[in-house]
Amino acid sequence: MKRILLSTVTLGLIAGAVSCANLDEKLITGVSSQYYSTPDGLNSAVIASYAQLRGYYGREQLISLQQVGTDTWMAADQSGSNNKDFDSYGGGFNSTVAPLANTWNPAYQAINTLNAAIDRGPAATGISQATKNSLLGEAHFLRALNYFTLVRQFGDVTLNVHEKQGVDASAVRDPAKDVYTLIIADLDTASALLPRTQADFGRATKGAAQTLRSLVYLTRAYLAFSPGKQGDFQKAAADADSVIASGTYSLEPVFADLWCVRRTADPGRTGYCENAGYNGNKKEFIFTVQFGPNGIYDATHVDADNEYNYLHLVYLGQYDNNGLWVGTPRDLNNGRPFRRMMPTPYELSVWNKYKGDPALNDTLDTRFDGTFQTTWIATQNNVKNATTNCPACTSGAVENIGDTAAVYLPFGVTTAFRQSKAYQILTPCPSQQINNPAADFSPAGYCGDRNNANDGYFNWQRYPSMKKFQDNQRANLTAQEGGKVQVIFRLAEVYLIAAEAAVGLGDQAKAAQMINVLHVRAAATNHKADYNVTASQMTLDYVMDERERELAGEFTRWYDITRPGVDYFLNRVKKYNPHGAANVAARHLLRPIPQSQIDGVVVGAKYPQNPGY
């Protein structure tokens, strides 16, 4: 009995002793914010800010915010309601549409990370001054880049210049003028601190800061609050000249090589973009967003955000299983056609593809074939086009692997020409046939025996595919995860900025000189000498067309046509975008502030919406 009593008491005492549980908390998995104070902290914040670029670049919202609804690009059939709203400026285009928050949120989160780096960085110890300078320069560059996106899309926005230390549910909109001032100050700091070259491909450089600054000055020059229009054009030109003169960058000799590796089987480069062996590191690239080592997305090492380059999907028209031609089932090379965006008729008219009569087939500007995939090669043996699908072509002719299966031609052809080919030939349709963008073409998806070269309308399901982002290094044919770099700035654009600034300054000779640099590279081998422009041709419209020839699909277009101001923007959209022409209005020069931002500001004054929304 006593033994039991004793053991019970002992048990109780043990229980009591063990019970002195420790209430201290020790974080083992995960990293606390104290890490920013370590020598690696500054670098880790800057790296995270690069990674945060992937929350915006390479993603679907770029389509809505930077490309559709312009003179040159419009929504295709599977564009999704968001892109279609941005394209048509229609009734569904309001503050709740997702791409707005998908742009706004990553930018402000990245800005907070960058503010942490900028606030804490100067006190960082244990790293060399050169490294510290570079990291701080990168932080200022990235902050400027994020604010530049915000100010161009939304106008007056909240300026945060310090890391948020607590919960802040209040916010005010600062004048766009002040945002530009901060951006320029950041870029002044960045260009002073950054080295000309970086050992790590993808880190910002002095040239990147200067390029961005020249574009910022160019943009501000047109704005009402510009401290001096001519002064801004001059500063834009000076930065551009400095980048060109630095010798750090050079134009890739062959335009198509910017995006792809040369395939011997496709000397005309009309087919898909081959990426095997392509790492995206070109002397022409000034700043890029990276999505995978050597341009290959690695699905097995991703963080929780799982952010990849999605853009390979968005420009592709349907070529597989389309009831129109045969022999080309969906494959990795030709890509997964998400049909988000297609060229407007105007886009197809700017190219100078041929010298003289198109029928002579004398290529002048190689950039069309370097930009669009117009030819599909059969990947199946022993297939035939049905007469119902291809009444005019050589009925009953058999296609085998390697044969041409379909070709888009930007001009009409004769029945005799069609009948001489076993493959489908797709040509533009007259505009009146597609008042309703959803309408399909009867009977067979081509427009018959016509010779109306530049009507330019293709069916919005099937159209030439913009191929700069095509990525056949993905894991498989359905994989959405792409690893190709997205180019934000390249040297060719610097020439275009210089040209536009020169037009603004009335220096047309210099503008022509800049454009001709690009023309020499763009011209076919036999036209290197005769594809040039003269000073008298140099207008803003010409530069805009040249921008499209050079930068088509690279997500600059919405900024390009809004930059000169509201009249230019309205005129261009009304004239050239069949979906948006009816609805576009002055308010559309700025996007609505995302509703989540307005709803989230619950302290202080209500967050103001842009007028008209």
Partner 1 sequence: MGRRTLLAILTLFAAGTTAGAQSGGTVAGRVSAPDGRPLPGIQITVSAMARGAVTDSAGRFSIANVSPGPHSVQARGIGFTLGTSPVTVASGQTATVTITLTPTALELNPVVVVGYGEQERRTVTGAVSTVTAEKLKDIPTADPMKALQGRVPGVDIIAANNEPGAAMNVRIRGVRSLTASNEPLYVVDGVPIGGGIQDFNPETIETIEVLKDASATAIYGSRGANGVILVTTKKGVADGRLHTSYSVDAYAGTQDPVRLVPLMNLQQYVQYMKDGAAANGQDTSLARIFSAKQQFAIKNNISTDWQKVTLRSGAQRSVQTGLNGSSGDTRFTMNASYFDQVGLIPGQGYNRGAGFASIDHSGDKLRLGLTTNLSRILTNQGEGGAAYGYLFAVTPLGQPINYMNPDSAGLYDPRPDDDPLNLNPLLEAQSVVRQQNVNRAFGAAYAEYEIANGLTYRVNFGPDYTQLTNGCWNGTWTHGNCSNLGAQFGNQGQPPQAGQFNQQDFTYTLDNLLHYNKTVLSQHHFDLTGLYSIQHDRFSKDSLYASNLPYPTQLWYDLGSGTAGNQRSLISEWSLKSYMGRVNYTFADRYTVSITERADGSSRLAPGHKWAYFPSFGASWQIGDEGFMRNFPAISALKLRGSFGSTGNTAIAPYATEGTLSARLYTFGTTRVRGYKPGSIPNPDLGWEKTDQSDLGIEYGLFNNRVSGTVDVYKMKTHDLLLTRLLPATSGFTSTLQNIGSTENKGLELGVTTIPIRNWRGLGWTMDVNWATNKNKITALASGSQSDAANVWFVGHPINLPGDQQRQVFYDFKYVGVWQYADTLEMKKFNAKGSTFKVGDPRVADLNGDYRISADSDRTFVGDTYPGWTASWSNRFTYKGFDLSGLITAKWNYVFIDQTPRSYNGRFNNVADLDYWTPTNPTNKNPAPTTGAVDRLYAATRLYTDGSHWRIRNITAGYTFSPRFANRIGMQSVRLYGTAQDPYIHTDYIGIDPEVRGGVPTVRTLLIGSNFVF
Local structure of 488: helix, strand or coil: strand
Tell me whether residue 129 or residue 436 sits nearer to partner 1 (CB atom).
436
Q: Write out the binding residues for partner 1, residues 233-292 only, by CB under 8 A.
A: 279, 281, 290-292
Q: Which of 123, 247, 265, 301 is in the footprint of partner 1 by CB under 8 A?
A: 301
- List 122, 231, 268, 293, residue binding partner 1 (CB under 8 A): 293
Helices (H), 507-565: 508-522, 540-551, 557-562
Out of 265, 303, 416, 432, the only residue in the binding site for partner 1 (CB under 8 A) is 303
Output the DSSP codes for 333-401: TT------EEE-HHHHHS---BSS-GGG--B-BTHHHHHEE-EEE--SSSEE--TTT-SSS-TT-EE-T
Least distance (Å) from partner 1 to the CB of residue 16? 6
Q: Which is nearer to partner 1, 238 or 598 (CB)?
A: 598
Give CA–CA dist 250/244, Å, rounded.
Answer: 8
Using CA atoms, how far residue 343 sits from 350, 429, 461, 470, 493, in Å, is 11, 13, 12, 16, 21
In the chain, the N- to C-terminal Cα span, in Å, equals 85
Could you say which residues in the range 94-113 bind partner 1, by CB under 8 A? 94-96, 101, 104-105, 107-113
- Identify which of residues 478 and 536 has a Cβ nearer to partner 1 in the complex: 478
The span of 129-137, 302-310, 401-409, 569-577 binding partner 1 (CB under 8 A) equals 302-310
The residue from 62, 136, 151, 171 that contacts partner 1 (CB under 8 A) is: 171
**Residue 90 is encoded by which pair of tokens?**
């229609």
CA distances from 214 to 509, 546, 568, 589 (A): 20, 18, 21, 22
| 360 binds partner 1, rule: CB under 8 A | no
Host H or E run for residue 313: none
**What is d(CA 398, CA 393) in angstroms, rounded to the nearest whole number?**
12
Provide, rounded to whole angstroms, the least separation between the CB of residue 390 and partner 1.
Answer: 14
In the complex, what is the shortest distance from the CB of residue 318 to partner 1, in angstroms, rounded to a whole number? 11
If the CB atoms of residues 116 and 561 are measured against partner 1, the closer one turns out to be: 116
Judged by CB under 8 A, the residue of 475, 517, 520, 589 near partner 1 is 475
Size of the site for partner 1 (CB under 8 A): 122
Q: What is the DSSP string of 130-191?
A: HHHHHHHHHHHHHHHHHHHHHHHHHSSB----S---S------PBPHHHHHHHHHHHHHHHH
Are residues 337 and 318 in contact, defined by beta-carbon separation less than 8 angstroms?
A: yes
Find the binding residues for partner 1 in span 28-87 (CB under 8 A): 28-33, 35-36, 41, 43-52, 54, 77-81, 84
In the region spanning residues 507 to 546, those forming contacts with partner 1, defined by CB under 8 A, are none
Q: Which 1-20 positions form the footprint of partner 1 (CB under 8 A)?
A: 1, 4-5, 8, 11-12, 15-16, 18-19
Q: Which of 125, 128, 129, 200 binds partner 1 (CB under 8 A)?
A: 200
Out of 59, 203, 484, 519, the only residue in the binding site for partner 1 (CB under 8 A) is 203
DSSP 482: B
Please state the closest distance from residue 336 (CB atom) to partner 1, in A.
Answer: 9
Report, in Å, the least distance between residue 529 CB and partner 1: 37
37, 39, 92, 400: residue in contact with partner 1 (rule CB under 8 A): 92
- Among the listed ranges 124-132, 477-485, 516-524, 542-550, the one in contact with partner 1 (CB under 8 A) is 477-485
Q: From 377, 185, 203, 386, select the one nearest 288 (Cα to Cα).
A: 203
Distance CA 347, CA 72 (A): 5
**Nearer to partner 1 (CB atom), residue 530 or residue 599:** 599
β-strand pairing of 404-408 with 424-426: parallel
Name the minimum Å distance from CB 25 to partner 1.
5
Among 115, 205, 270, 275, binds partner 1 (CB under 8 A): 115
Q: Which CA distances in Å does 443 have to 4, 446, 448, 598?
A: 98, 8, 10, 50
Smallest gap from Cβ 351 to partner 1, in A, equals: 29
Under rule CB under 8 A, which residues in 442-461 are in contact with partner 1? 442
User: Which phi and psi angles does 539 have, rounded to 5°?
Assistant: -125, 170
Minimum distance between the CB of residue 307 and partner 1, rounded to whole angstroms?
9
Residue among 153, 133, 138 nearest 50 (CA): 138
Give the nearer residue to partner 1 in terms of CB position, either 49 or 70: 49
